[in-house]
Amino acid sequence: LFLSLFVACVLVVGGCARKAGEVWLPKREDLTVGRFVTRVALASMPMYQDTRWLRYINDLGNKIVQVSERPNFNYRFIVADTPEINAFASPDGSVFITTGLLKLCEKDEDQIAAVLAHEVSHIALRHGAKMLQKDAGYGAIAFVVFGFEVPTGRKIANFISQLTSLGYGREFELESDARALVYLKKMRYQEPALADFLEKIKHLDPAQLP
């Protein structure tokens, strides 16, 4: 019975053929996995308590959201209180940025906006769903629908680890850089801001990076 249900689910959700680059994974599925990512991140990092910074980051982030491809999605901007220089986006709409990264930006709003724009674009372009399709395949649906844990659960765990430390992979990171520039231009921020930030990252001691 379970096998029949799974096959039916795959046929309904996946279809018989898919175009290259098409996102076939239902939004509810990458949303479920995204919630796992956010839960793990919140449990592993202390949250910054300065309400002024939290309000500032949320206000800035939500302005960027309005010029993205998914302006009506439920985004959440979270500041993690850690010297680690990092920012990442979860498929459920959560964008994390660390105090270490904010310090690196030296309160330069253009650079902070560039970082947030990059992360927002990962969510707007559904890079999480595309990664799940590539790495977990139809097994991702089995995980979220039926709760299968092995080996698909292990793939999901690897997915969470990659998102929070390595990002979405070169192809999607480059696409997000390009989209971030579009967002920044729409908001009339300085276009070199993203390049300036990436230049800073390039000259950091590797030990400072996650």
Q: Which of 119, 132, 209, 129 is nearest to 173 (CA)?
A: 119
Question: What's the pLDDT tens digit per position in 70-105?
Answer: 999 999 999 999 999 999 999 999 999 999 999 999
Q: Which two tokens stand for residue 112?
A: 């902070």
Tens of pLDDT, residue by residue over 170-181, are: 899 999 999 999
Which is more confidently placed, 196 or 1? 196
Q: pLDDT category, 9, cuts 50, 70, 90?
A: very low
Burial class (CB in 10 A: 0-12, 13-18, 19+), 44: exposed
Q: What's the burial of 16, exposed, middle or buried (CB within 10 Å: 0-12/13-18/19+)? A: exposed
Q: Kindly report the pTM of this predicted structure.
A: 0.79
Strands (E), 26-180: 76-80, 87-89, 94-98
